Amino acid sequence: MEVFSSTMAVMISHQKAQKYLATVDPKLAVLIEKYGDCKLEPHTNYYKELVDSIVSQQLSVKAADTIFGRFLDLFGGHMPTPKQILKTDIESMRGVGFSYAKANYVKDLAERIEDGRLDLVHIATLPNQDVIEQLVAVKGIGEWSAHMFMIFSLGRTNILPTGDLGIRKSFMVLYGFKDLPSPLEMLQISLQNNWAPYQSVASWYLWKSLDNS
């Protein structure tokens, strides 16, 4: 019942956001009409999502899934605890497809969770900037990864990932830029069109506009 209620709450929030964005921005209104309801739903296994985000960097979805599956196989098919990761040698991680850098990044993540520098129990209660600061302190996690985590794991509704190439391409097409817009130009568009407090939902529609499948 709790899962159903949570899902319903997300749907209602998105419907409110869609109605608002369609009112304040005619260009977004066209996308909302075309693509229908926003399908953003938080993935709440924060630890797994962060490990996966490191594994997936600069890889195709298929390659990342393969490596992540092999990684889980090291631990009997289950997601290892941070302590188990810290006890695993780098060469074992290399053997399933990790680069040296990514193996060290995942170990740094595990170490920070173990010693409390990264508090995933309470991270959902922190302001956006505090979340970003905790995450980018982890080796291999930058602002883009932090933005993705806030949108797709924490379910934050007012994040504009200005460093995302797809979002920049969509901005360029939708708002008539000759070149990829700068983060400042993107923020100005958002401000001029009053996207807040639903920049994440606006971003979802911008991503969808690039989906030619």
pLDDT in tens, 124-135: 999 999 999 999
Quick one: what percent of the chain has pLDDT higher than 70?
Answer: 93
Q: Which tokens is 167 given? A: 């979002």
Please determine, for residue 213, whether its predicted confidence score (pLDDT) is greater than 50: no
Domain boundaries, the chain: 14-40+160-208, 46-152
Architecture in CATH for domain 14-40+160-208: Orthogonal Bundle (1.10)
- Domains 14-40+160-208 and 46-152 fall in the same CATH topology: no
DSSP E strands, 92-189: none
Selected catalytic residue, list 25, 164, 179, 211: 164
* Whether pLDDT at 209 is above 70: yes
Global confidence as pTM: 0.90
Q: How buried is residue 125: exposed, middle or buried, by Cβ count under 10 Å (0-12/13-18/19+)?
A: exposed
**Domain 46-152, CATH among 3.40.50.170, 3.90.79.10, 1.10.760.10, 1.10.340.30:** 1.10.340.30
Is 164 annotated in the active site? yes
The reported pLDDT for the residue numbered 212 is 55
Position 10 scores a pLDDT of 64
| Count of C-beta atoms within a 10 Å radius of residue 94 | 13
Instruction: Please name which of 206, 209, 202 lies closest in space to residue 22, comparing C-alpha atoms.
Output: 202
Give residue 1's pLDDT band: very low, low, confident or very high (50, 70, 90).
very low
Whether residue 46 has pLDDT greater than 60: yes
Reported residue count of the chain is: 213
